[in-house]
Structure 1
Amino acid sequence: MILFKSILNEKTASLLLYGEISDEGGDGKIASRDIVNELMYMDGSYENLNIRINSIGGDVYPGIAIFNAIRQCRSNVTIYIDGIAASIAGVIALCGKRVEMSRYSRMMLHNVSGGCYGNKKDLQDMISTIESLEDTIVEIIAGRCGRDKEEVKNAYFDGTDHWLKADEALALGLIDAIYDVEAVPEESTTDDIYRIFTNRLVLEQQPQNSDKMKLEDFKKIPRFANCTDGSSSDVHTW
């Protein structure tokens, strides 16, 4: 789990969502309660909040909780997709007042996954739950890009993983801008991109971009110490 916060100046703070999203955290996961708690504090203290994402996704309900907490922030929230914003992390990315994406990063959208054990009614209930969650996510995506819900559902909820480059996400209206960072190899897979950006942060290296975020600022970033092991819900999007 890589979850950091940084105070860039008296008006601006930064929060990083680097890792898998879950309810409790631990085992390399980001706990939604830690994110929401931190947002509640930072929103009352800073005019601008920068949220940076490199996440393969995770559990739907914790992801929606994070989405709603960010959406309700009074601060000017800018979301940066540094590496991967996949599955529910890709949905979270859409709630920024402004969303920027590295030209080397990827966004991924797909169907909700889930499972249960029981009789046919239990299975039918699970299907209804998944369909309801998908409808909610479709509504979020459609609202962001100004498209019809049915069009979004047919395009991205067909049982296939849809990996979008920055220019594709920009053309669709999912993001507002593309920023440049240090190049990654052209042959990099999506897994390679996720590891590259995670490793850069571990090595205390974060690229500069248009919001004047400097390497020296990230060298001061403290690691959260209050994340604990825990279990996650049964419904997720990866």
Structure 2
Amino acid sequence: MKGQEWYQADEVAAEYEDKRFSGGGRLIDRREKGAVLDALAPLDGKRVLEVACGTGRFTVLCAERGADITGMDISDAMLREGREKARAAGVADHLEFMRGDAARLPFPDDYFDAVFAMRFFHLADTPAKFLSEMARVSKADVFFDTFNRYSTRSLYNSLLPMGSRLYSTSEVHDLLRGAGLTLRSDAHDFVLPYGFYRQLPGWLADPIRDADVALGDSPIGEYLASVSYWHAHV
């Protein structure tokens, strides 16, 4: 995995959300959470796994909506942040955080109703193996996002501390076929890359995001999008 040492540092975990999801970054947080809920809801009573859960943004969100959810990550520091978030939200008794390797998920086949990963596949050195493992332990839904090769993301990708693996649509379709998954739906968003929004104050980010959405809804929007959300079925 790219940037493992950077990702697992205590100071990165402590500052992760403040740096990414404050100011203009709150628009990213809202969109990502909406994408997860659109794909997996209703969650009440479902057994769900989040791979690479980080600080538990989505793990806690799903627990609040009644999911029996496990959040797994390689970073102890990120998991500590997640447990604190769960306690603050009052759902610590309704979820589990565990350290684990996404390439060898410690669960039997068809154990979960849904498996998802956000902000993960751009770091994957062996994406086919990771996706196949997600498909193996899910009996229904698999959901994940990718950063797109032919987009504004590519303009600053090399400057990021971990870099990013960028995907074309055909590459994702090949990965889905290889994992035995059928695509149910896909969505494409953010003509302007995430890094741009994180530099903006909220008052300025809102109107720019409105223009971004309008362009994204146009006939060429899908081809300009820097992020794609993929909802597949086993």
TM-score range, shorter chain: 0.3 to 0.5
TM-score by length of 2: 0.32
TM-score by length of 1: 0.32
**Could you say which structure has the greater relative contact order, defined with CA pairs below 8 angstroms and 6 or more residues apart?**
1
Q: Please state which structure has a larger fraction of its residues in helix.
A: 2
